[in-house]
Amino acid sequence: LARHTHPKGLTYSAAPPTPLLRSLTTKVYIGTLRTMAAFMAGAVSATATTMGMRSMCGPHRSASLSSSRKVLFAFAQRDASLRTPRRRAMVTTSASTGESTDTTAETTSTTSLAKKIVVVGGGNSAGYFARAVVAAGRGADLCIVAGENVLPYERPALSKAFLHKESPARLPGFHTSVGGGGERQTQEWYDANGVEVMLSTRVTAADLANKTLTTDTGAHITYDKLVVATGCSALKLPAAMGGALPGVHYVRDNADALALYDAMGSAKKAVVIGGGYIGLECAASLATWGLNPNVVLMEPHTMARLWTPEIAAKYEAVYESKGTVFHRATKVVKIVEKDGKACGVEIEGGVVLEADIVVVGVGAGVPTAPFDILDTTPEKFPGGIKVDATFAASGSGVEPQSVYAIGDIAAFPLSSDGDKLVRMEHVAHARASATHAAAAVMDSANAAAYQYLPFFYSRVFEHGGSERKVSWVFYGLQGGNEVVVVGDFA
């Protein structure tokens, strides 16, 4: 191992390249020099090995960019340590199927509930928000209203380990906050900590001026503080194109992933539409199942918003070595139907790619209903609910600091980029924004400005027996004309 010390105090170790390791990228870019400088200013001493890294800085969290287990560099970010959380819920979950059985009496369907803090949404952010509230000893003040029939969980697992052919991940194994190093927040956890959780329940109306919510069960919920954590929705192809046919799959929640996994068991041929996170993660699983997926993408290369063409080429080569076929810069004409279900995908030029399973990963939408009275940002630029640096939202007739938005749905000022409003669709932000907002919600004196370095990470081909586990980690935003190269592709 060669040991190096960066002028900023960063210490890291890296193994010299070997022929086995050279086939994957050793190139990293951070979009703007300003973002890079902001990151370096927060770097602290860390050490890394070829199998991962261990922080040398107590409560700080370390991170690395690795390729086939080869750590290219490692940084550690300051991260406030959290105390251990607790719990309350109304559902039991099958470890074998991931399905849940509602054990809650219908007492809330026609009644009213008053809570000091109400979170709408049951994803990553909701779970980590609960963790922070419980750590402060205020679990009994909290109610979570979740549309799914399962407790908050680590959503990234759905397109990764959940789809492994052997020993797939299933709930309750990946409930929050195990992904962030915390306790698994099972039903017993919520119960023990007095947190009220309303599963399979959706908020249909919101009177934010009078701090009252109405659910699809007919319940009325009043609050002192409201936190919107509803996340994004998977964009779907139009029904006229075949986007709603049986055999077409979108991956957004636990039920979606279960349906896809079941379909993979009997599938013979697969097509993936989209070359982003969901597309590549699902394509990796399909490839390991021996389905040799065709991946259709409109862009000239995969992960076009994050990777350079050179980086993309290295990762695409790994996929191709496992039977994946890419159709780049190609548009989908329609999904072909036979006997009432999908049997293929027609791409421009009249070519039909046969498939009995089609996975669509073409991006996410940011629905804000029924909270449309809140100030929002222009759709796609960046979309979502506009918040300040403490995640407080605003709107006509809305009491200041009474409504907050966290996670994917929040458009917040990014301090490292001149307070430009951005949305971050990544689990790191979901966790961090929840923890940060919780402090402000519980005590306005703790309403500090959010400091966040954009972080993009994934890992694929981690199934049992894999010869090469692949991951990528990027910091900062893609932008400007600067490309910083670390290492080479030789």
User: According to DSSP H, which parts of 42-143 are helical?
Assistant: 124-135
Residue by residue, pLDDT tens for the chain (490 residues) are 333 333 334 333 333 333 333 334 333 333 433 333 343 344 332 322 222 322 223 333 333 333 333 333 333 332 332 233 333 333 333 434 444 444 443 444 457 788 999 999 999 999 999 999 999 999 999 999 999 999 999 999 999 999 999 999 999 999 999 999 999 999 999 999 999 999 999 999 999 999 999 999 999 999 999 999 999 999 999 999 999 999 999 999 999 999 999 999 999 999 999 999 999 999 999 999 999 999 999 999 999 989 988 889 999 999 999 999 999 999 999 999 999 999 999 999 999 999 999 999 999 999 999 999 999 998 777 999 999 999 999 999 999 999 999 999 999 999 999 999 999 999 999 999 999 999 999 998 889 999 999 999 999 999 988 888 999 998 888 776 676 777 765 4
pTM for the whole structure: 0.79
Rounded-to-integer distance, Cα 128 and Cα 121, Å = 12
CB 384 within 8 A of CB 409: yes
CB count, 10 Å around CB of 240?
8
Pair 61, 76: CB distance under 8 Å: yes
Q: Is the separation of the CB atoms in 86 and 192 below 8 Å?
A: yes
The two tokens of residue 52 are 């991962």
Q: Specify whether the CB–CB gap between 129 and 434 falls below 8 A.
A: yes
- Residue 424, classified by CB atoms within 10 Å of its CB into exposed (0-12), middle (13-18) or buried (19+), is buried
